[in-house]
Amino acid sequence: MGSLLGVQPLDDPNRTKVDMIAESLGLERVGYIFTSLNKEKQFMTSNQLREIARLQQQHIVDHPAGYKVSKFVTVRVE
């Protein structure tokens, strides 16, 4: 849900079903998408960026090349 002060992600009422379908296909949920109906150039708030960083830190895995990476993806669509 959005306001002038930022965005608050809403819980998906179908999240359990989505996770079950993804798992049955050998997939998993790996991120989320920010969108905006505003045609003006709009930047993410500091709170949004902190939330993205927190989620990326929660999903760190070992890369086969020997370093750590986040498997969490954030996409911003204008």
Q: Which domain holds residue 64?
A: 30-78
Asked whether residue 44 is domain-assigned, the answer is: yes
Asked whether residue 60 is domain-assigned, the answer is: yes
Integer Cα distance of 58 and 19 in angstroms: 18
pLDDT tens readout for residues 8-27 = 667 788 889 988 998 898 88
Query: What pLDDT, on a 0 to 100 scale, did the predictor assign at position 52?
Result: 84
Q: Tell me the pTM.
A: 0.52
Integer Cα distance of 60 and 69 in angstroms: 5
Integer Cα distance of 12 and 73 in angstroms: 17
Count of domains for the chain: 1
CB 76, CB 44: distance < 8 Å: yes
Asked whether residue 52 is domain-assigned, the answer is: yes
Integer Cα distance of 72 and 5 in angstroms: 25
